[in-house]
């Protein structure tokens, strides 16, 4: 009697094991697709970048920097600015600062005189700046030309706004018609910079045309982007912002 009971238990166990295996095979979890550009999804739409120190890090309204992120190796760029006092706006990541120094130097030899307007901004500075724009123009309009805290390229230390040597048109559309802007369009990539927000790409970048906003991504990527006349989003095949 005991032998029969043991045999029946073995048979029942084998049936259950086979059924469990079939169920597991049919319902096993498929691996999630890897989000683009070292980013992990957060709250269903915004991605928090997991490699913010990368020179080619993608930062926009859909890809934000980690909370309390502060870039390493910030140094003062050795270029003239539209102001004299020492502030954080004169700082950039070391590699970007050295590249902008070279760009300014070479531009001068070709009769192109540039001034820095705004480089690095801390998270707290970006917060104050954005809130001021909201108070002035309202939230929706502010979003078209200013980044939410955590989504500004200036917080990476890899971006800088520039203008012509006469100080006219700082962060204004009229800069796009100047000889300085034309020179940057043609030569910025040679020093690792791209015009980050090109004309006609607003739906992809989320921002209007900004010929004054330079972003350091390294020579290899910059030359590819500027040659193809695409954006950093398109280079990484990232989703358009579509604001």
Report which of residues 90 and 35 the model is more confident about. Answer: 90
Q: What is the CATH number of domain 39-235?
A: 3.30.1380.10
Per residue in 52-95, pLDDT tens?
999 999 999 999 999 889 999 999 999 999 999 999 999 999 99
pTM over 0.85: no
3-state secondary structure of 117: strand
Q: What is the pLDDT of residues 149-200, one digit of tens each?
A: 999 999 999 999 999 998 888 888 889 999 999 999 999 999 999 999 999 9
Residue ranges of domains in the chain: 1-30, 39-235
Please report, in angstroms and rounded to a whole number, the separation of the first and last CA atoms in the chain. Answer: 76
Alpha carbons 125 and 82: distance in angstroms, whole number: 19
Nearby residues of 131 by Cβ (< 8 Å), 6 or more positions away: none
Would you say residue 44 has pLDDT above 60? no
Give the pLDDT band (50/70/90) at residue 7: very low
pLDDT, tens digit (0-9, with 9 covering 90-100), for 189-215:
999 999 999 999 999 999 999 999 999
Name the nearest CA neighbour of 35 among 243, 236, 242, 241. 236
CA–CA separation, 77 vs 96, rounded Å? Answer: 9
Distance CA 180, CA 79 (A): 15
Average pLDDT, the chain: 84
Is 32 one of the catalytic residues?
no
How far is residue 36's CA from residue 163's CA, in Å, rounded to a whole number? Answer: 33
Instruction: Estimate the crossing angle of helix 179-187 against helix 94-109, to 10 degrees.
Output: 120
Which of 153, 155, 180, 210 does the annotation list as catalytic? 210
């Amino acid at each position: 009697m005991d032998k029969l009971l043991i045999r029946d238990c073995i048979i029942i166990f084998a049936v259950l094991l086979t059924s469990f295996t079939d169920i597991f095979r049919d319902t096993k979890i498929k691996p999630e697709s890897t989000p683009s550009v070292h980013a992990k999804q957060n709250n269903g739409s915004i991605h928090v970048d997991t490699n913010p120190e990368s020179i080619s890090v993608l930062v926009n309204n859909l890809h934000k920097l980690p909370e309390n992120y502060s870039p390493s190796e910030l140094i003062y760029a050795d270029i003239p600015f539209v102001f004299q006092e020492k502030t954080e706006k004169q700082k950039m990541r070391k590699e970007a600062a050295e590249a902008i120094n070279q760009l300014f130097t070479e531009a001068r030899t070709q009769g192109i005189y540039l001034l820095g307007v705004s480089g690095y901004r801390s998270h707290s500075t970006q917060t104050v700046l954005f809130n001021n724009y909201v108070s002035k123009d309202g939230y929706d309009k502010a979003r078209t030309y200013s980044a939410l805290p955590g989504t500004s390229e200036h917080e990476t230390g890899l971006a800088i706004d520039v203008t012509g040597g006469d100080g006219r048109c700082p962060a204004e559309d009229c800069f796009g018609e100047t000889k300085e802007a034309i020179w940057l369009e043609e030569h910025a990539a040679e020093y690792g910079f791209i015009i980050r927000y090109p004309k006609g790409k607003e739906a992809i970048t989320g921002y209007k045309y900004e010929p004054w906003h330079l972003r350091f991504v390294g020579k290899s990527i910059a030359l590819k982007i500027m040659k193809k006349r695409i954006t950093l989003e398109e280079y990484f095949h990232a989703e358009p912002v579509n604001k």
